[in-house]
Chains A and B, each alone.
Chain A
Amino acid sequence: MDIFLQQIINGLTLGCVYAVVALGYTMVYGIIQLINFAHGEVVMIGAMVAFSVIGALMKSGMPPLLVVAIGTAVAVPACVAVAWLMERVAYRPLRTAPRLAPLITAIGISIILQHVAMMIWGRSPISFPQIIKTHNFNVGGALITNIQIAIILISFILMAGLIWLVYRTKLGVAMRATSQRQDIAGLMGIDINRVISATFVIGAALAAVAGVMIGTYYGQTQYTMGELLGLKAFCAAVLGGIGNLGGAVLGGILMGLVEALGTGYIGDLTNNWFGSNYRDVFAFVVLILVLVFRPSGLLGERVGDRA
């Protein structure tokens, strides 16, 4: 088996999920310069809700794909509601407060969401119902599963859809206008509160799908899953240049690849001093390197004049 190609496939799959989550971070940052630390928890809630729905329907005799689709269709509005509410209740009142206040609030929200999820779904890891049969396909000596193909395809459709929305629709242009000058956007008749809500809502819809994808891929979920996933996706957004959509896509995919390749080769490279249990380290090594050598990220522009 070709290990290198295999790790590329695994990394691309993971990277696509990171990218979809990173888009949520970067959109919110782009419009209100807030790092929404609770975004990872929105992904977790998406996975949890989908888990419950799929679990309830799996014995109903419906086709597995339909069951997963229904699970996703319920997870999306659930996540949208959570994100809409958190913006409305927690962040909006702090819009003009010093930047540290909403940042700390975001951390608080993420802790609250984790604990609410813990009360509903329990402490221990929940295994995601594997109702979709996995098929392997052989490509050049490596294996790719139907689930991996689906994740990569769906992610690219979502990313393309988002970029279309932001660059080709009136709402998208209004979002970009609002991110540049809120006061002037208001003078155009743009209700900036609605545009900001829309930004949270769109990011949450993406997060919900990401939650279902990651749950299906790993086959399990837990109330803490948003923590590390969110942090890595945030690193991906910074890597690409926070506030930049293309950067989030690039950063997410690179992050997935680095993690997969790093995990695959760390044993060989360090003479087995470090094993694949160090996989979570790579995201942060990359983050530190980016912050040292290219603080504005790969595709980032002048963070300075936004601050």
Chain B
Amino acid sequence: MPALLNLEKVEVRYGGIRAVKGIDLTVNEGEMACIVGANGAGKTTTLKAVAGLLEPAAGSITYAGKSIAGVRSFALVRQGLALVPEGRGVFGQLTVAENLAMGAYVRDDEHAVAEDRERMLGLFPRLKERYQQSAGTMSGGEQQMLAIARALMSRPRLLLLDEPSMGLAPLIVEKIFETIAAVARTGVTILLVEQNARMALETCQRAYVMESGEITLTGPARDLLDDPQVRAAYLGE
């Protein structure tokens, strides 16, 4: 399968701080990949560089065969790249309906947008109940569902998810992961960042382990799940 996303020697800096220190990473079309790692490892920074929120200081990022390093985020959305940011980032003062409409901002096939919206409301019935309510009044889990639904409204080819499980109860985490897996089965390529390593490794096909700005381990997620080092460091065994 061809690579949909490819990072080569990507380095990202915050002023003098090198947060990502020359990483290589590949996600194939139709695949579900994850990056696991501790706090401050550089996971969010990596996703932000891919999504066009940060410009890499060095290295190349290729998406669908084109170099996208330094292309700004709004232009990437039109090319099918969507990021569900860390902390959800819903528009708190907009209603659920308006948040979903913003997810479809780049589309003008209104008929299909309406269909997708119905599909999202079927996938997340809570959003249907809260449809005209401001997003800021919803619970963390509901906001996470909205953030995912909103990203899907752009009909992404590559979906980037930054810690969708953050701060959520185990039952809701399970539900969110089921949904992500279901999205993956529809053919959307996924790159997931997680601290909940077990969930991530059990759901994904390919995994990267990140430590202080570097990728220290990579391989099929199943293998990493059995790796004694990974078990000790990330699965609490």
Measuring CB to CB, which residues of chain A are less than 8 angstroms from any residue of chain B?
170, 173-174, 176-177, 180-181, 183-192
Residues of A within 8 A of B75 (CB): 191
Interface centre among B72, B73, B103 (most CB of A within 10 A): B73
| Mask of B47-63 contacts with A, CB within 8 angstroms, 1/0 | 00001110000000000
Q: Could you say which of A177, A188, A192 contacts B154, with CB atoms under 8 Å apart?
A: A188
Inter-chain contact B93/A176, CB cutoff 8 Å: yes
Interface centre among A189, A190, A191 (most CB of B within 10 A): A189
Inter-chain contact A190/B105, CB cutoff 8 Å: yes
Decide yes or no whether B92 CB sits under 8 A from chain A: yes
How far apart sit A185 and B52, CA to CA, in the bound complex (Å)? 13
Residues of B within 8 A of A174 (CB): 102, 105
Inter-chain contact B102/A173, CB cutoff 8 Å: yes
Complex: chain B residue closest to A185, CB-CB: B102
How far apart sit A174 and B77, CA to CA, in the bound complex (Å)? 15
Complex: chain B residue closest to A194, CB-CB: B74
Inter-chain contact B93/A187, CB cutoff 8 Å: no
How far apart sit A135 and B72, CA to CA, in the bound complex (Å)? 57
Identify which of B83-91, B174-182, B217-225 touches chain A: B83-91
Inter-chain contact A192/B74, CB cutoff 8 Å: yes
Given contacts A170-B101, A173-B101, contact A189 B106 (CB under 8 A): yes
How far apart sit A183 and B88, CA to CA, in the bound complex (Å)? 12
Measuring CB to CB, which residues of chain B are less than 8 angstroms from any residue of chain A?
51-53, 72-75, 77-78, 82-83, 85, 89, 91-94, 98, 101-103, 105-106, 150, 154
16 extra interchain contacts, Cβ-Cβ under 8 A, other than A174-B105, A177-B102? Answer: A173-B94, A180-B92, A183-B85, A184-B89, A186-B52, A186-B73, A187-B83, A188-B74, A188-B105, A188-B154, A189-B78, A189-B106, A189-B154, A190-B74, A190-B102, A191-B75
How many residue pairs at the A-B interface have CB separations less than 8 Å?
64
Give 14 A-B contacts (CB < 8 Å), ordered by A residue: A170-B101, A173-B98, A176-B91, A181-B89, A181-B91, A183-B89, A187-B51, A187-B74, A187-B77, A187-B82, A188-B77, A188-B150, A188-B154, A190-B102
Inter-chain contact A189/B74, CB cutoff 8 Å: yes
Residues of B within 8 A of A177 (CB): 91, 94, 98, 102
Complex: chain B residue closest to A301, CB-CB: B93
Residues of A within 8 A of B93 (CB): 176, 180
Inter-chain contact B73/A187, CB cutoff 8 Å: yes
Residues of A within 8 A of B92 (CB): 180
How far apart sit A181 and B136, CA to CA, in the bound complex (Å)? 13
Inter-chain contact A189/B94, CB cutoff 8 Å: no
How far apart sit A184 and B53, CA to CA, in the bound complex (Å)? 9
How far apart sit A153 and B91, CA to CA, in the bound complex (Å)? 34
Residues of A within 8 A of B91 (CB): 176-177, 180-181, 184
Residues of B within 8 A of A190 (CB): 74, 102, 105
Complex: chain A residue closest to B151, CB-CB: A187
Given contacts A173-B94, A181-B89, A183-B53, contact A188 B72 (CB under 8 A): no
Inter-chain contact A186/B74, CB cutoff 8 Å: yes
Q: Could you say which of B52, B89, B94, B150 contacts A176, with CB atoms under 8 Å apart?
A: B94
Give min CB distance, B96 to chain A, whole Å: 12
How far apart sit A176 and B98, CA to CA, in the bound complex (Å)? 10
